[in-house]
């Protein structure tokens, strides 16, 4: 960690105070930018429809009510079924957890190979794989539908996991490869001399060092997969729809009466697992970084 | 035999991913290219008719807007997110006790689906409902912020909401990178009397080149994929002033049953991406090999 | 002994044959009616379906007036497992038929005598090259103008019967500090206003030539320029924050007196009624100035699926959709009127009565026209191209001449 303030410790308590205050001021200003929409979402979700219709959208709720939250979780209509988001949560979990684990693992192995086991053409292969990060999902939708139909995975959660793993490989490989490049080659050489093989080196040397990048990768993959709507709606059928499809159904009804408070509550509920991942992973973020630098 | 296997193991491990990408990325790009040469409407057809889709694409005024928006939005979104992410990472790197909370505050926007945060931003940026109205009611009568409803400025509101969503993640990437720099080097430089900002500029940042690559690719991916963002915030409007190739593509394919058009716009978009990313990758990976 | 065995065997065989033949109707239904009121209405259909022994699997996909649902539909069809019934309307039905993926439900249609109870133009939409392939649910009227009764009374204005009257009234209201027209700046809303204006300015024949036949001379004509002129005038009657506003927020503006008029289809009625406003007392409904009736018919198309139980499900579903009970209950909840002409309208509100009368009258007079803005008159590519021009014109200071040129080339380019 960089102790950049140590230099100022003796050159002036006041100077340190000023810089520190400036720091917090800046952080605070940015925090307002980031928190503004959340503030609006939370306050709207706690108002009654009447208040939303008649009041200003930025006001605090005159009367706090949690009815919208209850509706969003278990009562909102997502079609004929009016059971809120609850029935769809499990589908998303069944989808996201395996997909994140598998794509992260594959990415780690790929990154390890490309960064440490240089062979002819490794960089070319890496570049080709990277391009997979840029393909817009709309392009992929129709041919993938065809393929899923042929291999008989259409409409199932396994099919969705399959799709998300395939399109996650580009990113996970990128993250791990860029991280592993900074680990000196001597480490692998020394281990090979000691008689360790490919997987041994990976498991005992690289994995332990990878905590920060595993955190970043998991955060990215979980977010992308959990919040994905396009694949979720096209490759599922009744019974396997993830929570984003349900959220969309609650929020985007075209000609019905819009219940903004329920919409906001539903969006926050749908985001809770991802937020949980951020908070939990964040702890490892701190722990990982002290072990981040490689010494001998 | 097992020695041969051991030697080939790295390649074998990489092979399944590589094959998958070949099929599901390049194969599908090939499929899209094929379809862009056909008269596909509702569903794909495969008899080639020539460049008619591209002709139609280039005379469409809406495509012109979408295409130029890609550059405006893409450039601003990537540059601002990178700078902001870097700034926040450096700020957070200063050993703050409440780092965990502040970090979560900057990061959480990415967790929320744009389907709804788009509505929140729409309200904030709307002159009559949001920021402008609020500041005016507080006494600042002449404050004006009507970009959202101005066809010429609306695309910049998409940048604001986009940066809000993505910069936290970029910050997390940079923070991970900042903290993986060897302490010894920094301490040595501080002992030598090099000022802090100099340390950042000449030692720390250059060692994070790989992280910059990751950040760039993530942001470029997000800007290309920007679909929910536009739909939720402006619906492509006013008029189609905030249309982007992703929304154009989607509209043609799924609302207008014009898959041939969608395919041709996709090919053009990917050509642009290719033209930008490939040189960057080349120089990056070249430098690595030195 | 042998005879007993024979009898037993025969009865066993008969029982097993009848149980095989009696398939359980099944239907997986893709639709986008996911909000409270609409969802309740579809639930009625589901209840009827299950009371006749059917199993309904719901596949709702909201958004974009069906865009997301169409995405899902394409993926499902390409993957080879199309849903049993899909909410489709207008020329999209025939488009899908051309891909060879729709089923033929003529047997039900003929048995139930659909040809006798549906107006000719509506029946036309439900047919694919002569055979029936879709079942109509309702008739929405698009060209309504809604008004705040108090605001109008206070300013001495009555519902306009011509666009000149509207312009005069609007100018008066603007001077009094009231927004004349509450509008949401979304492409489909711009298109809705545009077609109401086009019908009023040009008349039913003009509308048909321009937006159904796509006749180039009509699209280039001075009448079309006049339509754009009126649109430019309308642009001056909306408030400065109209961009991106949702349609129901515009209705709210009329409800609370901030604005006087809104041009919107009959689903706006639902917003008024949900807020406890009374038709004729708090809010007024009338057809937009001009002669004619622009309709939007929601319907379910039946897709080609395997399995006797799914085919049974389609037949049953089709029968129930056009059945009197569903037609009545659904439309009462949704604000539209039944597609069937022989449903008693006693329990419907006054605006619905007006709608039904107008529909009968325009049907007889030949001015019952499909809405282009809501996907009834043209295929997606063409209607989208026209809407692009309309919204670009509305949101810029393009001249009517430029707009007309753009219109002609956009339509040509969209074929």
Task: Return the CATH number at C30.
Answer: 3.40.190.10
Give a yes or no: residue B30 inside a domain: no
Interface test with A, best of C32, C79, C82, C336 (most A CBs within 10 A): C79
Burial call B11-41: b when 16+ CB within 10 Å, e when fewer: bebbeebbebbeebbeebbebbeebbbbebb
pLDDT of residue C228: 95
Q: Do B120 and A264 touch (CB under 8 A)?
A: yes
Which range of A105-114, C14-23, C303-312 scores highest in mean pLDDT? It is: A105-114
Contacts of C68 in chain A (CB under 8 A): 229, 233, 248, 252
Q: Do C57 and A238 touch (CB under 8 A)?
A: yes
Interface of C with A in 42-61 (CB under 8 A): 42-43, 46, 56-61
Please determine, for residue B19, whether its predicted confidence score (pLDDT) is greater than 90: yes
pLDDT, tens digit (0-9, with 9 covering 90-100), for A51-88: 776 777 677 888 888 888 888 888 887 878 888 888 89
Among all chains, which residue has been given the structure tokens 């000023």?
A: A18
d(CA C122, CA A92): 41
pLDDT of residue C20: 47
pLDDT, tens digit (0-9, with 9 covering 90-100), for B75-84: 999 999 999 9
Mean pLDDT of chain B: 85
Q: Do C58 and A79 touch (CB under 8 A)?
A: yes
Do C379 and C91 touch, CB atoms closer than 8 A? yes
Burial call A155-182: b when 16+ CB within 10 Å, e when fewer: bbbebbbbbbbbbbbbbbbbbbbbbbeb
pLDDT category at C133 given cuts 50, 70, 90 is: very high
Helices A243-251, A211-227: axis angle to 10 degrees equals 50
Question: What is the pLDDT averaged over residues C278-283?
Answer: 90
Among C117, C153, C160, C151, CA closest to C136: C117
Q: Are C268 and C402 contained in the same domain?
A: yes
Contacts of B126 in chain C (CB under 8 A): 241, 244-245
CB proximity A64 to B under 8 Å: no
Contacts of A254 in chain C (CB under 8 A): 32, 35, 62-66
Q: Are C91 and C124 contained in the same domain?
A: yes
Question: What is the pLDDT averaged over residues B144-158?
Answer: 86
Percentage of the residues of chain C whose pLDDT score is greater than 70: 94
Chains that touch B (3 or more CB pairs under 8 A): A, C
d(CA B253, CA B32): 12
Please tell me which of the candidates C239, C380, C395 has its beta carbon nearest to residue B257. C380
Backbone angles phi, psi at A43, to 5 degrees: -65, -40
C107 Cβ contact partners less than 8 Å away, ≥ 6 residues apart = C315
Q: Are C168 and C240 contained in the same domain?
A: yes
Chains that touch A (3 or more CB pairs under 8 A): B, C
Among B32, B59, B2, CA closest to B268: B32
Contacts of C79 in chain A (CB under 8 A): 145-146, 148-149, 154-155, 235
Interface of A with B in 43-62 (CB under 8 A): 44, 56-58
Give a yes or no: residue B133 inside a domain: yes
Contacts of B99 in chain A (CB under 8 A): 286
Q: Are C91 and C196 contained in the same domain?
A: no
Backbone angles phi, psi at C232, to 5 degrees: -65, -40
B286 Cβ contact partners less than 8 Å away, ≥ 6 residues apart = none
pLDDT of residue B107: 84
When mean pLDDT is compared across B7-11, B84-88, C336-340, the lowest value belongs to B7-11
What are the C-alpha distances in Å from B17 to residues A127, A170, A275, B217, C113?
13, 9, 30, 19, 59
Q: Are C130 and C145 contained in the same domain?
A: no
Q: Which of C315, C334, C353 is the last residue of a domain?
A: C353
Q: Which of C353, C380, C398 is the last residue of a domain?
A: C353
pLDDT category at C121 given cuts 50, 70, 90 is: confident
**Cα dihedral angle (A233, A236, A241, A242), rounded to 10 degrees?**
-70
C-alpha distance from A134 to closest chain B C-alpha (Å): 5
Give the Cβ contact number of residue A183 at 10 Å.
18
Q: What is the ipTM of this complex?
A: 0.82
Do A188 and A179 touch, CB atoms closer than 8 A? no
Q: Are C128 and C181 contained in the same domain?
A: no
Contacts of A283 in chain B (CB under 8 A): 100
Do C157 and C181 touch, CB atoms closer than 8 A? no
Burial call A122-152: b when 16+ CB within 10 Å, e when fewer: bbebbebbbbbbbbbbbbbbbbbbbbbbeee
Q: Are C283 and C308 contained in the same domain?
A: no
pLDDT, tens digit (0-9, with 9 covering 90-100), for B115-141: 778 878 888 888 877 777 777 777 777
Do C119 and C333 touch, CB atoms closer than 8 A? no
Contacts of C71 in chain B (CB under 8 A): 250, 253-254
Helices A157-180, B2-21: axis angle to 10 degrees equals 120
**In which region does residue C57 sit, left (phi positive, over 0), alpha (psi from -120 to 50) or beta (all else)?**
beta
Please tell me which of the candidates C65, C68, C80 has its beta carbon nearest to residue A149. C80
Q: Are C65 and C120 contained in the same domain?
A: yes
Contacts of B116 in chain C (CB under 8 A): none
pLDDT of residue A289: 41
As for how many domains chain C has, the answer is 2
Q: Do C244 and B151 touch (CB under 8 A)?
A: no
* Bridging pattern class, strands C179-181 and C259-263: parallel
User: Residue C409 burial (CB < 10 Å; 0-12/13-18/19+)?
Assistant: middle
d(CA B272, CA B67): 10
C303 - beta bridge partners? C102
Range of the domain at B282: 61-289
pLDDT category at A296 given cuts 50, 70, 90 is: very low
Q: Are C281 and C348 contained in the same domain?
A: no
Q: Which residue of C has its CA nearest to A234?
A: C72
pLDDT category at C19 given cuts 50, 70, 90 is: very low
Question: What is the pLDDT averaged over residues C255-284?
Answer: 88
pLDDT of residue C366: 84
Q: Which long-range contacts (CB under 8 A, 24 or more apart) does A74-78 make?
A: A76/A250, A76/A259, A76/A262, A76/A266, A77/A249, A77/A250, A77/C34, A77/C35, A77/C36, A77/C39, A77/C40, A78/A245, A78/A246, A78/A249, A78/A250, A78/C34, A78/C60
Interface of B with A in 163-182 (CB under 8 A): 164, 168-169, 172-173, 175-176, 178-182
d(CA A8, CA A1): 17
Question: What are the DSSP calls for B166-192, one per residue?
Answer: HHHHHHHHHHHHHTTS-HHHHHHHHHT
Please tell me which of the candidates B235, B255, B257 has its beta carbon nearest to residue C244. B235
Percentage of the residues of chain A whose pLDDT score is greater than 90: 18
CB proximity C248 to A under 8 Å: yes
Percentage of the residues of chain B whose pLDDT score is greater than 90: 26
Q: Do B129 and A56 touch (CB under 8 A)?
A: yes
CB proximity A146 to C under 8 Å: yes
Tokens of A295: 């010494």
d(CA B168, CA B164): 8
Q: Are C111 and C254 contained in the same domain?
A: no
B180 Cβ contact partners less than 8 Å away, ≥ 6 residues apart = A179, A182, A212, A289, A292, A293
Backbone angles phi, psi at C294, to 5 degrees: -95, 120
Mean pLDDT of chain C: 88
Q: Do B186 and A137 touch (CB under 8 A)?
A: no
Q: Are C249 and C387 contained in the same domain?
A: yes
Q: Do A23 and B96 touch (CB under 8 A)?
A: yes
Do C34 and A253 touch, CB atoms closer than 8 A? yes
Each domain of chain A, given as residue ranges in start order, spans 2-65, 86-293
Give a yes or no: residue B247 inside a domain: yes
Please tell me which of the candidates B18, B21, B111 has its beta carbon nearest to residue A271. B111
pLDDT of residue B143: 77
C-alpha distance from B277 to closest chain C C-alpha (Å): 30
CB proximity A10 to B under 8 Å: no
User: Residue C203 burial (CB < 10 Å; 0-12/13-18/19+)?
Assistant: middle
CB proximity C379 to B under 8 Å: yes
Considering only CA atoms, give the Rg of chain A: 24
CB proximity C35 to A under 8 Å: yes
Q: Which CATH number fits domain A86-293: 3.30.830.10, 1.10.3720.10, 1.20.120.330, 2.60.40.1250?
A: 1.10.3720.10
d(CA C374, CA A126): 48
Please determine, for residue B177, whether its predicted confidence score (pLDDT) is greater than 80: no
As for how many domains chain B has, the answer is 1
Range of the domain at C233: 141-295+354-413
Q: Do B110 and A223 touch (CB under 8 A)?
A: yes
Q: Do C71 and A230 touch (CB under 8 A)?
A: yes
d(CA C357, CA C350): 11
C-alpha distance from A38 to closest chain C C-alpha (Å): 21
């Amino acid at each position: 960690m960089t102790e950049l303030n140590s230099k100022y410790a003796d050159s002036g308590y006041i100077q340190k105070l000023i810089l520190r205050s400036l720091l917090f001021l800046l952080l605070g200003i940015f925090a307002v930018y980031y928190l503004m929409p959340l503030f609006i979402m939370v306050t709207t979700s706690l108002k009654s429809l009447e208040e939303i219709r008649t009041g200003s959208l930025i006001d605090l709720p005159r009367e706090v009510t949690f009815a919208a939250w209850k509706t969003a979780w278990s009562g909102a209509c997502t079609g004929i079924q009016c059971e809120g988001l609850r029935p769809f949560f499990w589908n998303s979990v069944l989808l996201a957890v395996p997909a994140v684990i598998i794509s992260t693992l594959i990415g780690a192995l790929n990154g390890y190979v490309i960064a440490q086991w240089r062979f002819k053409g490794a960089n070319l292969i890496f570049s080709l794989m990277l391009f997979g990060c840029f393909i817009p999902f709309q392009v992929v939708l129709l041919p993938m539908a065809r393929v899923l139909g042929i291999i008989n995975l259409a409409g199932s959660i396994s099919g969705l996991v399959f799709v998300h793993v395939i399109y996650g490989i580009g990113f996970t490989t990128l993250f791990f490869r860029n991280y592993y490049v900074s680990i000196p080659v001597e480490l692998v050489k020394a281990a090979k001399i000691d008689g360790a093989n490919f997987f041994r080196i990976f498991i005992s040397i690289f994995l332990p060092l990878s905590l920060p990048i595993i955190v970043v990768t998991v955060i990215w993959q979980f977010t992308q997969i959990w919040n994905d709507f396009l694949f979720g709606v096209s490759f599922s059928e009744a019974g396997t729809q993830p929570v984003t499809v349900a959220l969309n159904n609650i929020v985007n009804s075209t000609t019905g009466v819009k219940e903004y408070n329920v919409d906001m509550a539903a969006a926050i509920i749908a985001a809770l697992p991802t937020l949980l991942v951020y908070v939990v992973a964040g702890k490892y973020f701190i722990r990982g970084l002290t072990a981040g630098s490689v010494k001998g | 035999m097992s020695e041969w296997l051991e030697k080939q193991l790295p390649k074998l491990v990489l092979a399944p991913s590589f094959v998958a990408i070949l099929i599901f990325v390049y194969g599908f790009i090939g499929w899209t290219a094929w379809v862009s040469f056909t008269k596909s409407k509702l569903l794909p057809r495969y008899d080639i008719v020539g460049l008619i889709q591209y002709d139609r694409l280039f005379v469409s005024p809406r495509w012109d807007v979408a295409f130029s928006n890609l550059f405006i939005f893409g450039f601003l979104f990537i540059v601002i997110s990178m700078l902001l992410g870097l700034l926040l990472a450096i700020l957070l790197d200063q050993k703050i006790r409440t780092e965990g909370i502040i970090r979560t505050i900057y990061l959480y926007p990415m967790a929320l689906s744009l389907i709804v945060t788009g509505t929140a931003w729409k309200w904030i940026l709307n002159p009559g409902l949001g920021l402008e109205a609020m500041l005016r009611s507080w006494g600042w009568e002449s404050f004006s912020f009507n970009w959202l409803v101005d066809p010429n400025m609306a695309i910049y509101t998409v940048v604001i909401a986009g940066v809000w969503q993505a910069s936290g993640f970029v910050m997390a990437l940079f923070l991970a990178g900042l903290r993986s720099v060897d302490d010894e080097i920094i301490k040595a430089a501080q002992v030598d009397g090099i000022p802090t900002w100099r340390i950042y500029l000449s030692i720390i940042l250059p060692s994070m080149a790989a992280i910059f690559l990751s950040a760039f690719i993530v942001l470029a991916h997000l800007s290309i994929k920007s679909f929910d963002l536009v739909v939720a915030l402006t619906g492509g409007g006013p008029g189609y002033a905030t249309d982007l190739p992703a929304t154009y593509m989607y509209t043609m394919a799924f609302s207008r049953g014009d898959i041939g058009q969608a395919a041709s716009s996709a090919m053009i978009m990917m050509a642009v991406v290719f033209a930008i990313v490939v040189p960057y990758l080349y120089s990056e990976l070249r430098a690595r090999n030195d | 002994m042998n005879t007993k065995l024979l009898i037993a065997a025969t009865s066993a065989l008969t029982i097993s044959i009848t149980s095989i033949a009696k398939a359980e109707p099944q239907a997986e239904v893709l639709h986008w009616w996911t909000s409270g009121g609409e969802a309740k209405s579809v639930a009625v259909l589901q209840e009827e379906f299950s009371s006749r022994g059917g199993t309904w699997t719901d596949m709702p996909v909201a958004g974009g007036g069906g865009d997301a649902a169409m995405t899902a539909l394409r993926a499902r069809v390409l993957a080879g497992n199309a849903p049993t019934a899909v909410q489709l309307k207008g020329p999209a039905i025939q488009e899908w038929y051309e891909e060879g993926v729709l089923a033929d439900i003529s047997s039900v249609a003929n048995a139930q005598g659909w040809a006798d109870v549906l107006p000719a133009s509506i029946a036309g939409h439900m047919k694919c090259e002569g055979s029936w392939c879709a079942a109509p649910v309702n008739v929405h009227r698009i060209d309504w103008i809604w008004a705040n009764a108090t605001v109008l009374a206070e300013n001495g204005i009555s519902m306009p019967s011509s666009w000149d009257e509207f312009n005069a009234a609007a100018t008066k209201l603007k001077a009094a500090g009231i927004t004349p027209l509450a509008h949401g700046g979304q492409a489909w809303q711009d298109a809705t206003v545009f077609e109401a204006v086009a019908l009023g300015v040009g008349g039913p024949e003009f509308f048909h030539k321009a937006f159904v036949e796509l006749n180039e001379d009509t699209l280039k004509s001075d009448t079309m320029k006049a339509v754009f002129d009126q649109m430019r005038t309308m642009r001056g009657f909306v408030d400065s924050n109209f961009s991106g506003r949702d349609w129901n927020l515009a209705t709210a503006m009329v409800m609370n007196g901030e604005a006087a008029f809104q041009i919107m289809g009959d689903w706006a009625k639902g917003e008024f009624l949900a807020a406890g406003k009374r038709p004729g007392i708090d809010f007024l409904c009338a057809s937009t100035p001009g002669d004619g009736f622009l309709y939007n018919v929601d319907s379910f198309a039946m897709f080609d699926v395997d399995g006797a139980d799914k085919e049974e499900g389609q037949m049953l579903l089709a029968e129930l959709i056009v059945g009197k009970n569903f037609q009545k209950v659904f439309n009462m909840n949704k604000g539209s009127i039944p597609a069937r002409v022989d449903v008693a309208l006693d329990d419907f509100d006054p605006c619905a009565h007006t709608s039904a009368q107008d529909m009968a009258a325009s049907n007889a007079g030949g001015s019952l026209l499909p809405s282009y803005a809501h996907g009834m008159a043209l295929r997606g590519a063409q209607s989208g191209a026209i809407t692009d021009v309309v919204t670009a014109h509305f949101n810029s200071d393009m001249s009517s001449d430029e707009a007309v040129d753009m219109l002609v080339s956009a339509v040509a380019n969209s074929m």
